[in-house]
Chain A
Amino acid sequence: MSHGPSAPAHAHGHGGEAAPYVPVFTEGSARRRELDDLISRYPSRRAALLPALWMVQQDRGWISEDAMREVGEQLDCTAAYVKGVVTFYTMYHQHPVGRHFIQVCTTSPCLCAGADDVVKAFLEHTGCKELGLTSPDGKYTVIEVECLGACGFATPVQINEDYVECVTPEKVPGLLAALGD
């Protein structure tokens, strides 16, 4: 439910230029076994699409067009179909993001508790110039996110996988320091 990160300038239209794509679900790999196990939980292969995309993102940090093609081949659907799904859900990254992906909830319950100031503090202390842009050192990307479902612990911030609750602007420098590199 994020207002997703924007594409870094260099990522536009250069899908195939980098090193050749290394598949995630190679025959005999642990990921392939995991995917086969997941497929067995559903009466249709396509139902494993969301979990398969999660695996790609876990391993690669984002989901490239090549990865979409690979996932489509595994699950009997076209790359275009996979892209349709990837673009619907806000948590799938269509571009690389910072090593620490920071999502600050600013929906009304958090807004009235001061979430805007938390956003400002993150932008200031990470060196991210604006929401959605990655800091020059590649370390952080900060975005606003819609309701994280932790409204009683305003302001919740999701940093990579996990939530940090009751974040105030004063806590931001300490939180960033604790993240390490």
Chain B
Amino acid sequence: MGYPHKSHPQETPVLSKHFGDPAARTLEGWKARGGYTALAQALTMAPTAIQDVVKASGLRGRGGAGFPTGLKWSFMKLDDGKPHYLCCNADESEPGTFKDREIMRWTPHALIEGVAIGAYAIGAETAYIYIRGEFSEPIRVMEAALAEARAAGVIGPNAMGSGKRIDIWVHKGAGAYICGEETALMNSIEGKRGNPRIKPPFPAVSGLFGQPTTINNVETLTAVPHILNNGAEWYKGMCLSSPKSTGSKLFSVCGNVARPGNYEVVLGFSFKDFLYDLCGGPPAGRKFKAIIPGGSSVPVITIEEAEQVRMDYEGFLEVGTMLGSGGVIIFDDAQSMPRQLARLARFYAHESCAQCTQCREGTAWMTRILERIVAGQGTFEDLDTIFDLSESMTGKTICVLSDSCAAPVVSGIKRFRGEFEALITGRRSSTVAVGG
């Protein structure tokens, strides 16, 4: 269960620097690696000053949406007399994404430090780290690290002797992709079914237990101590293309690729170099065909498009997809795209919370149509029905789960229509593999 690779020379290991080093997991080991200096410094600063540093750094949310972190924090009214909460989203369930798991497994104190700083910066005395129930090992590692940090007074009623209270608790999920949606996550902590809530009110106004709340992803919070230690300018300087995309980012790489795993590069890195140099290209004897670059909820692109892309928020948008969570799913020329997309649609149908009709019915219907096409029983009208269906599944529901089902399916049909048509007409497409 070790971390699979040493850093590639073209990587910029900031968050991943200590992945694979068990000694970094303990409080002592973390302190020896410069840990908790940022928290100590933060506790001497005004919360708004911390927000300003994070704003200036350009850090954007790493969970998928890419919202500016400092700006999100500034939505919290600091002197409203209400209890505030910070939720750390560690429900990592987006197919293709497995970066937060590594952060928690190898550098739990890095996350604790980030959570503690985040909590202080938004005026929260309590933070919950919501970890998906399947992540038994990360939960054990985080619980052990939290117990150590509590015992040493790093967090608790008098965090690092500052007189400030910062309590951090792990809240274990129980199997539900949708709980990674921020309002569903809050419902889940409250002991409810994980149904997303209608917004507004936004969490910063009325969130967890009806109080002002901020939700940040694991990777986002883990970047914060580095920003405080090295300064906003340093972080902003990590930028290879668009100035709106700064810092380093973990990309999880999976599917048909020579070297799957997590890679940390500066935003704006060439996707072509990333795929062929860092990840080692396709498996022997194969070619890359299609890529879903930001977790399964973003549109699929062709390898030709991917080779032109700069890996940042703007770069992926230019080719009609998104950076998302940084979960890169690669399909080679032996894969059947209809089969893969049918399976993805089934994922969303299984995970729909079923509140909204368009999602509950749409994801299930889309799955049935796609599975019918894969079974060789589809019609051309089926493709039109999917496009029609995708209209009602996009932008019309409480959360974006149904949008996330439609995005890869629609883009996949548009880009690989020939494979679908071949299945419909019964011709064998050269790109459709036997086993898929």
Contact = CB atoms under 8 A, between A and B. Distances in A.
A96 to B, nearest CB: 18
A51 interface: yes
Contacts of A145: 134
Contact of A147 (B93, B173, B188, B262): B93
Contact of B347 (A75, A77, A108): A108
A165 interface: yes
Given A1-B177, A89-B175, A41 B169 contact: yes
Interface string A124-153: 000000000000000000000111111111
B266 to A, nearest CB: 21
Contact of B132 (A44, A85, A88, A149): A149
A43 interface: yes
Contacts of B435: 114
Contacts of B368: none
Interface of B: 1, 4, 83, 92-98, 100-101, 126, 132-137, 167, 169, 171-177, 188-194, 209, 252-256, 260-262, 296, 327, 329, 331-332, 335, 339-340, 343-344, 347, 350-351, 353, 435-436
Contact of A90 (B135, B175, B253, B343): B175
Given A107-B344, A108-B329, A147-B94, A88 B176 contact: yes
Given A108-B344, A112-B256, 17 more contacts: A1-B176, A2-B175, A47-B209, A50-B188, A50-B191, A85-B191, A89-B133, A92-B175, A106-B343, A107-B296, A108-B96, A108-B329, A109-B329, A114-B435, A146-B95, A151-B95, A151-B254
Contact of A46 (B100, B169, B190, B335): B190
B134 A48 contact: no
Given A85-B192, A109-B329, A162-B136, A151 B172 contact: no
A154 interface: yes
A158 interface: yes
A157 to B, nearest CB: 11
Given A1-B177, A149-B132, A154-B260, A88 B193 contact: yes
B260 A152 contact: yes
Given A85-B192, A147-B93, A152 B256 contact: no
B134 A148 contact: yes
A117 B169 CA distance: 39
A161 interface: yes
Nearest to B344: A108
Interface in A41-66: 41-44, 46-51, 53-54
Contacts of A121: none
A21 interface: no
Given A48-B191, A148-B134, A149-B97, A91 B335 contact: no
24 contacts: A1-B93, A1-B134, A1-B177, A1-B350, A43-B209, A44-B190, A44-B191, A54-B172, A85-B191, A89-B175, A90-B176, A91-B134, A107-B343, A108-B255, A108-B296, A108-B344, A147-B94, A147-B177, A149-B93, A149-B98, A149-B101, A151-B96, A151-B327, A162-B137
Contacts of B261: 152
**Nearest 10 interchain pairs by C-beta:** A49-B191, A89-B174, A91-B175, A151-B254, A90-B175, A46-B191, A88-B193, A152-B260, A161-B136, A147-B95
A35 to B, nearest CB: 13
Nearest to A103: B134
Interface of A: 1-3, 41-44, 46-51, 53-54, 75, 77, 84-85, 88-92, 106-109, 111-114, 145-154, 158, 161-163, 165
A103 B256 CA distance: 22
B421 to A, nearest CB: 21
A90 B190 CA distance: 18
Contacts of B332: 112
Contact of A50 (B94, B173, B296, B339): B173
A77 to B, nearest CB: 8
A114 B283 CA distance: 14
Given A41-B167, A89-B133, A112 B189 contact: no
